[in-house]
Amino acid sequence: MRVLACLFIILALSACDAPIPAKENKGLSTMQKREVIDSLMQAQQDAWNTGSLEAYMQTYKQSDSLIFVGSRGLNYGWNTTLSNYQKSYPDKEAMGTLQFENLEFKDLGSEYSFMIGRWYLFRSTDTLSGSYSLLWQWEGKSASIIADHSS
């Protein structure tokens, strides 16, 4: 619950226009962070579109503390998230073709970044779409998703 409270505080702070001071951020610039995350999300989209949920999940932090909020409500953990994807998308036909549209990026300092966007899923029988908000945690020059709210 404490992690969820922290997530909402970070989300509230991300709405501010003033940058959050980074603690000794000797890493990437805001533009470089955006490029890294865009690249990671492109790899994620490509993995989905080849039918590999396991490869798609590599962008998520492999931890029991991963937070995912979706149609099944609030869930914790990398394995739970993968299992839920496997239940919802049992084969390539159900997976369709995924497209991300990243709309808003906020650099939250040396440890976190926040991305808001839209997703589109094109299938032979229908087209689905929705929104996402992703909290990314930085470790050096690499990042992983630690919280995902997709609707």
For the segment 15-74, what is each residue's pLDDT rounded down to a tens digit? 444 444 444 446 899 999 999 999 999 999 999 999 999 999 999 999 999 999 998 899
pLDDT at 1: 43
**Cβ–Cβ < 8 Å for 136, 112:** yes
pLDDT at 95: 98
pLDDT at 26: 60
The rounded distance, in Å, linking the Cα atoms of 32 and 99 is 22
pLDDT at 111: 97
Going by C-alpha positions, the residue among 84, 114, 98, 96 that lies closest to residue 6 is 114
Backbone φ and ψ for 65, nearest 5 degrees, come out as -90, -5
The rounded distance, in Å, linking the Cα atoms of 111 and 108 is 7
Q: What is the pLDDT of residues 72-102, one digit of tens each?
A: 899 999 999 999 999 999 999 999 999 999 9
Sign of the four-CA dihedral 77, 33, 10, 43: negative
Residues 6+ apart with CB under 8 A from 109: 20, 21, 22, 23, 25
pLDDT at 106: 98
CATH node for 35-150:
3.10.450.50
Q: Is the pLDDT of residue 132 over 70?
A: yes
Kindly report the pTM of this predicted structure: 0.82
Query: Quick one: how far is CA 103 from the chain centroid?
Result: 13
pLDDT classification of 7: cutoffs 50, 70, 90: very low
Going by C-alpha positions, the residue among 119, 117, 116, 114 that lies closest to residue 130 is 119
